[in-house]
Amino acid sequence: MEKPRTGTGTAHGTWLTLGRDGRLSLYAPTRGGVLCWHESAVGGPRWEGPRFVAAPDLTDLTVAQGSDGYVHLLGRRERRTPDGAAAVDIVHAIQYQTNRAVTEWRSLGRPDEDPAPGASGGASVGVPVGVIAADGTVHVFVRGAAGGLMLRRESPSGKWRAWEDLLGAGIEGMPAPAALADGRVEVCAATWTGLLVWQQAEAGGRFAAPRGFDLRPLSGTAVALPGGSGRATYFWTDAANGGATAWQFGCRPSALGGSPAGHPYAALRTRLDGYDCVVLAYRGQDGTAVVGAGAVDAASGGFWWYALAERCEGAPALARDGHGRTVMAFIDPEGVAHIGRQDDSAGLSLTRWQRL
Taking only the tens place, the pLDDT of each residue in 127-151 is 999 999 999 999 999 999 889 999 9
**Whether the Cβ atoms of residue 298 and residue 283 lie closer than 8 Å to each other:** no
The DSSP bridge pattern shows strands 288-295 and 303-311 to be antiparallel
pTM: 0.95
The pLDDT of 205-215, averaged and rounded, is 96
Strands in 149-154's sheet, in edge-to-edge order, are 129-132, 138-143, 149-154, 164-165
In sequence order, what DSSP letters do the residues of 306-354 get, joined into one string?
EEEEEE-EEEEEEEE-TTS-EEEEEE-TTS-EEEEEB-SSSSS-B---E
302 band by pLDDT with thresholds 50, 70 and 90: confident
Short-list 284, 283, 317, 278, CA closest to 298: 278
> Would you place residue 300 in the very low, low, confident or very high pLDDT band (cuts 50, 70, 90)?
low
- CA end-to-end span of the chain: 22
Amino acid at 147: G
Residue 330: pLDDT over 50: yes
Q: Where do the domains of the chain lie, and which CATH numbers do they carry?
A: 218-356 (2.120.10.10)
pLDDT higher than 80, residue 286: yes
User: What's the count of helices (H) and strands (E) in the chain, helices before strands?
Assistant: 0, 29
Mean pLDDT taken over the chain: 92
- Residue 106 pLDDT greater than 70, yes or no: yes
C-alpha triplet 169, 175, 177: angle, nearest 5°: 130
Is 118 or 20 the better-scoring residue by pLDDT? Answer: 20
State the pLDDT at residue 3: 79
Q: What confidence score (pLDDT) does residue 301 get?
A: 66
Please report which confidence band the pLDDT of residue 118 belongs to, taking 50, 70 and 90 as the band edges. very low
pLDDT at 168 over 90: yes
Q: Is the bond preceding residue 50 a cis peptide, omega within 30 degrees? A: yes
Q: Is the pLDDT of residue 17 over 70?
A: yes
Task: Look at residue 352 in the predicted model and tell me its pLDDT.
Answer: 93
Percent of the chain at pLDDT > 90 equals 79
User: For residues 328 and 22, what is the distance between their CA atoms, to the nearest angstrom?
Assistant: 16
Residue 116 predicted with pLDDT over 90: no
* 89 pLDDT more than 90: yes
Angstrom distance (rounded) from CA 195 to CA 133:
23
| Residue 232: per-residue pLDDT | 93
- Nearest by Cα to 348 from 309, 313, 315, 305: 305
Reference 319, options 5, 65, 29; nearest CA is: 65
